[in-house]
A = this chain, B = another copy of it.
Amino acid sequence: MTKRSSPKQWQDLHAILATEDHDRLRQFFDDLSMSETALAVSRLSPSEQKRLVTILEPSAAADVMEDIPTEQLADIIEDLTPEQAASIMDELTSSRKSELLLEMEDEEVEAILHAMEPGQADEARKMLSYPHDTAGAIMVSEFLAYPDSATIGAVLADLQSNKSRYRSYHVQYIYVVDDRKKLVGILRMHDLLFSLHSASLGELMIKEPLHVQIDDTTKELGEFFQEHNFFGVPVVDKDGTLAGVLLPSAVEEAFNKKSVHQFLGLSGIVGGEEFRTMPLLTRSGRRLSWLSINIVLNILAASIIAMYQDTLATAIALAIFLPMISDMSGCSGNQAVAVSMRELTLGMLRRQEFLRVLGKEIGLGIINGIALGALLGAIAYLWKGNIYLGCVVGGALMINTIIAVCFGGVLPLLLKKFKLDPALVASPLLTTVTDMCGFFLVFSLATMVLPRISGI
């Protein structure tokens, strides 16, 4: 389906860049698929990337840039002069433009907007002003709108004479607006087929068409497209003015971004996506910022062990089970976190339903706690032949599993209540709490039977 090139070929880019031959460079990228383009560009040094953009004319550069993930492209564009950046930005689609600008620092955004065509800059400014998970931020501003007084003949004539421009438009409806640009009706492209050329849009249009509000959230928009099999839906502002058109694929993409954010956040990648093409110190710093919070929380948890150092010295075998209880409880808790986050995303759980989650998790916690506690307790008993050690270790894991799943289950609800992002905060917080509880349980139980387990 896509054009193939040998792996060798995309590594030739360095050589072609050195020749500064515009046509050869353009030809080179024409032969590459999207992921090959992304790969080839990612393997260039920052100065080569800059040269690439300088050699290619803006429209050809924009074609190449369309194939590169947003985060990475933002890095490349930040290194250009505002004028170079602006001339490429002017060629990108409206939604891509705002995605890119969102990745950049405020000052850079201002410099680039200043250098862009005034009309394009105003449009970009407007899109940036909408909250990121609303219709305004993901709609397209390329659509066909005509006044209700226009005739079918006039519309057809306009379509004919602007054919090439409209080809890149993504929507198959004609929107009808009144003289204050308010949306009053809609026509499907092929409704034009069966109409007299002299008829006006106002006579033929479907009145009071379905539409969404500019501040509707992606969740509401997802539901809209689930209920209505449309190719796009008009977006109106609070005055009813037609502001843009929303495509179902943009809504799916917004959901996808959310999932990626959750996946990366839970894995400790915060502050935007990381690519290995980014400067080493940026990558290192971002990862460290998360790890350094983690180490502080770890120290907090370990202080429980320090408090019970004497108990530990009496029954050194306990030390073997501490990391296991910590890790297993963390895993049990993370499972519950993931289920809650997923149910929240799908709207199957409301953020005030603490009791429901607790009710559902406590039963599961008891079953899994007994199963895991019995397993680990039996292993401890068999290993040292000491039933008390088995009870301490198994009992601690059992109780801590129940705590971990209950706390893990309600944690995303709690974080949402305090307007914190579960993807970033849930995992470190959960681990700290379950570690502390786990260590505390082991030592509390051990203290009760200390004479029976001393010297093991």
* Interface residues, chain A, with chain B CB atoms under 8 Å away: 1-2, 33-36, 38-39, 42, 66-67, 69, 72, 156, 159-160, 168, 170, 172, 189-190, 192-194, 211-213, 216, 219-220, 222-227, 229, 231, 248-249, 251-253, 255-256, 259-260, 262-264, 266-269, 273-277, 280-281, 283-284, 287-288, 290-292, 294-295, 298-299, 301-302, 305-306, 309, 312-313, 316-317, 319-324, 326-328, 331-332, 334-335, 337-339, 342-343, 346-350, 356-357, 360, 363-364, 367-368, 371-372, 375-376, 379, 383, 431, 435, 439
Contact = CB atoms under 8 A, between A and B. Distances in A.
Contacts of A327: 294, 298, 326-327, 431, 435
Contact of A276 (B212, B274, B288, B357): B357
Given A291-B372, A302-B323, 4 more contacts: A34-B223, A170-B231, A267-B337, A305-B319
Q: Chain A contact residues: over half helix, strand or loop, or mixed? A: helix
Given A194-B160, A372-B291, A284 B323 contact: no
Given A35-B347, A312-B316, A375 B295 contact: yes
Contact of A273 (B249, B292, B299, B342): B342
6 contacts: A1-B213, A34-B223, A42-B348, A189-B190, A225-B249, A268-B338
Contacts of A222: 34
Contacts of A248: 248-249
Contacts of A291: 328, 331-332, 335, 368, 372
B194 A274 contact: no
A251 to B, nearest CB: 8
Contacts of A280: 360, 363-364, 367
Given A193-B156, A266-B267, A35 B323 contact: no
